[in-house]
Amino acid sequence: MTDKANPWPAAKENLFGGIPAELSEELFEQLAASENVTIERIISQGHVTPAGKWYDQERNEWVVLLAGGAAILFEQDNKRLTMRPGDFVNIPAHCRHRVEWTDPGQDTVWLAVHYL
């Protein structure tokens, strides 16, 4: 999401810009990163975590749903969180989880911050 026409490091961008009309799989885009933190935009269009797969991440993840709708399932207690725009959750490292549902009728836009 870098603005090629303006290489100035503080170029303005938009989290809702440049979303492809159709995606065969979920889109993960790194927006910023350092040794201890990575910020990414995730776009889902009805995508879910493949059957039998669980995310088991090395870092903590704070994620906010900006648009659309989703549901996240946590393996440990089989708890399902339904997410609407503005909802966020902090997922500790190695807390196994999966995306059970995203709205197939609209773009689901997430902002995720992975940190130590």
For the chain, what is the HEC assignment? Answer: CCCCCCCCCCCCCCCCCCCCCCCCCCEEEEEEECCCEEEEEEEECCCCCCCCCCECCCCEEEEEEEECCEEEEECCCCEEEEECCCCEEEECCCCCEEEEEECCCCCEEEEEEEEC
According to DSSP, the residues that pair with 27 across neighbouring strands are 43
CATH level 2 (architecture), domain 27-115: Sandwich (2.60)
Instruction: Please check the confidence at residue 12 and state whether its pLDDT lies above 90.
Output: no
The Cα–Cα gap between 72 and 100 comes to 6
* Residue type present at position 105: G
Q: How confident is the model at residue 10 (pLDDT cuts 50, 70, 90)?
A: confident
Please state the rounded mean pLDDT for residues 84-91: 98
The Cα–Cα gap between 116 and 111 comes to 17
Q: Can you give the pLDDT at residue 11?
A: 80
Structure tokens at 54: 């669980």
What number of other Cβ atoms are within 10 A of residue 4's Cβ?
6
What percentage of the chain reaches a pLDDT higher than 90?
90
